[in-house]
A and B are shown apart, each in its own frame.
Chain A
């Protein structure tokens, strides 16, 4: 063997050893720098904006363990989870004590992956969807209420966590807090009113907002559960029948906001949740001239303005003592019977409305020394005027209903009698008086010394 041959052999052997060394070096270099997700196999995990901490730390084996030496296998798995379901998660994350509150069913079942990705996600919590959480929630929860005409803001935005806790809560429906406090976190404009108002709508004190409002979405404005008065009648059922069957209906109840035309829904300083004193509320409609309508409402405000005497209930600002705003079977929404016509002879019940406050025996006896001061001796002149079986005159012939400058609400301007207003011209004395209305000549009466009939 020549020297050249020896050199050739040495060169060849060196080349082989170097190649083998490079192969081994290359192998061990790869072993030292590549991981499960940087390698060729699980690179898709790098696409997550946020990685599960063990993944980011390349601690795959904190969750996975090898079951066979070869990996990957063409068939079957060479790794398995170190524990199943929530048992794996609670090795790092706190577990939930069922006694501490109601659990989300997925949590209770240990199904964390219903909502979370195990390796990474787009947001904090590694949720399976970022931004609009409805995507996740609707996989289990019904989406119907979110597809209504009106949708609650947070529901529309899919920020379910504004109201709900995802894992556990002491409050119903996994709410962040009790219903009323929860709503007032955002609807802060109601807080001051609720704290400072004399009258609070009962559900707000005794229950929660969801008695009247849908929480996610609904078919009616303000997320109300029912339309207008129907919602109110679910609790105020005594008014439902009146609403349907009343012979005389209050127009306000059947227009636009219905009950809301007169009542505040949440709170008020006034009884019955009226936004203002009762008579003020009524006069908003009944205290103005409406020239747009052929049969406009009477302007009661002008009837009251500057008058010396108001009808008793009106001195307390009450209209409901005489009128039922929710409907009535009687004339002008009165709470009891009163004739609509100018003439209506007295009989029991015909004047029940007036006599429910005024002396019940006023019109009962032709002679009395007790029930009226409008008498000549014992001759009951109220009886004479009203109980005349042929032409009994109603109270309006002499009295104003709302206000007057005359005592006993005597109608000084005169009762409306067709196109004419009948003057009354009443003159009172200590023991009687006289009048010369458009009906008869001046006639006097005296309680103590009866005036003889001419």
Chain B
């Protein structure tokens, strides 16, 4: 129709353009489907016209975001140790573990692990991070049922174990020639993801004895390819993100391949550089992509559900994201940020290595009915 219009009235390019624009806008509005009423002011994903399922809640980048204390002005009258007054920043976070309402954040550059307790408004560095327990490059952590903290240190090439109060207890891995990048606990088993050997080492959680190696054995040769992050589901099966294959591999403790999904690419459900991975209590799998700079959520069959955190937003975008953890506990602690029309069922914590938001907090849920 627009072509006929142009032929009949040569030179009316502007009119043609307007006609095309009107038709396109009509077509697009027809494709938009039913209108979804969204609350204003809050940042939601996915974009309209889809109903909102993830809300960006807040960020945590320093102790100020937790305890509310800000750096005071320079005082010539100040006496004693003024360092206590300074806010403690998060420099370059990688892995994050959320358990019992506390956040355990591996801050790679300064070689420290931060324990954040939003309920108590405390922001503390791991107590045992000195001497034999000194971290060099902590990258991921996990907690066992007793509250012991296991930290994968890629520079020390060990897994360091700290007690519930934060004191250093022991380290595992010396002599194993590994580069541990992630750890997970399953009962008495400690899973260590080894970037160097492209496998998962299963250790006795209590004594560090190597029991088995899975993921790169004779049955599953080269199954893992630069594995970088892992998590276990409620049944104990292991999901592993692989940087160079772009695949998410699902293994059981015996090393059996239970399933896989994903590949390298920039399409939906594909990965540029998959990093952190978490599985929630409903079996949904969350995968951070450092190249796409977003998080993609899959169901347990590996079907893409949605993605969020892409760059370009004033709030809620990720900036070279790395680690992720998901919990259904402690949602009330972030109640003040949750839109009153939105019901959150899972809290999602994602670390960004750069930018003003070092830990972005999101809520997965749906509009209240």
Contacts and interface: CB of A to CB of B under 8 A. Distances in A.
B203 to A, nearest CB: 15
Contacts of A378: 254
B258 to A, nearest CB: 7
B253 A361 contact: no
Interface string B248-267: 00001110101000000000
A368 interface: yes
Interface residues of A, number: 9
Contacts of B254: 365, 367-370, 378
Interface string B266-283: 000000000000000000
Nearest to B257: A365
B258 A370 contact: no
A369 B189 CA distance: 12
A266 interface: no
Contacts of A370: 236, 252-254
B258 A369 contact: no
Given A369-B253, A370-B252, A361 B236 contact: no
A365 B252 CA distance: 11
B256 A364 contact: yes
A375 to B, nearest CB: 11
A213 to B, nearest CB: 36
A369 B236 CA distance: 12
Contacts, number: 18
Interface string A344-364: 000000000000000001001
Contacts of A361: 252, 256, 258
Chain B interface size, under 10 / 10 to 19 / 20 to 34 / 35 or more: under 10
Contacts of B252: 361, 368, 370-371
Nearest to A364: B256
A378 B214 CA distance: 15
B60 to A, nearest CB: 37
B249 to A, nearest CB: 16
A371 B258 CA distance: 12
A369 B237 CA distance: 12
A450 to B, nearest CB: 14
Contacts of A368: 252, 254, 256
Nearest to A369: B254
A370 B202 CA distance: 14
A369 B256 CA distance: 11
B1 to A, nearest CB: 45
Contacts of A364: 256
Contacts of B258: 361
Interface string A366-380: 011111000000100
Contacts of A367: 254
Interface in B210-263: 236, 252-254, 256, 258
A233 to B, nearest CB: 32
A371 B252 CA distance: 10
B217 to A, nearest CB: 12
Nearest to A368: B254
B59 to A, nearest CB: 40
Contacts of B256: 361, 364-365, 368
A337 B123 CA distance: 56
A368 B253 CA distance: 8
Nearest to B258: A361
Nearest to A367: B254
Contacts of B253: 369-370
Interface in B150-181: none
Interface in A191-232: none
A159 B243 CA distance: 84
B132 to A, nearest CB: 33
A156 B99 CA distance: 75
Contacts of A365: 254, 256
A361 B253 CA distance: 12
A374 to B, nearest CB: 15
A364 B258 CA distance: 10
A367 B236 CA distance: 17
A368 B254 CA distance: 6
Nearest to A378: B254
Interface string A49-61: 0000000000000
A61 B236 CA distance: 101
A371 to B, nearest CB: 8
A365 B253 CA distance: 12
Interface in A368-409: 368-371, 378
A378 B212 CA distance: 13
A73 B202 CA distance: 123
A368 B236 CA distance: 13
Interface string A417-451: 00000000000000000000000000000000000
A219 B254 CA distance: 67
Interface in B31-86: none
Contacts of B236: 370
A431 to B, nearest CB: 16
Nearest to B212: A369
A378 B256 CA distance: 13
Interface of B: 236, 252-254, 256, 258
The 8 A-B residue pairs with the shortest CB-CB distance, nearest first, are A365-B256, A368-B254, A369-B254, A370-B253, A370-B252, A369-B253, A367-B254, A370-B254
18 contacts: A361-B252, A361-B256, A361-B258, A364-B256, A365-B254, A365-B256, A367-B254, A368-B252, A368-B254, A368-B256, A369-B253, A369-B254, A370-B236, A370-B252, A370-B253, A370-B254, A371-B252, A378-B254
Given A361-B258, A365-B254, A368-B256, 15 more contacts: A361-B252, A361-B256, A364-B256, A365-B256, A367-B254, A368-B252, A368-B254, A369-B253, A369-B254, A370-B236, A370-B252, A370-B253, A370-B254, A371-B252, A378-B254
Interface of A: 361, 364-365, 367-371, 378
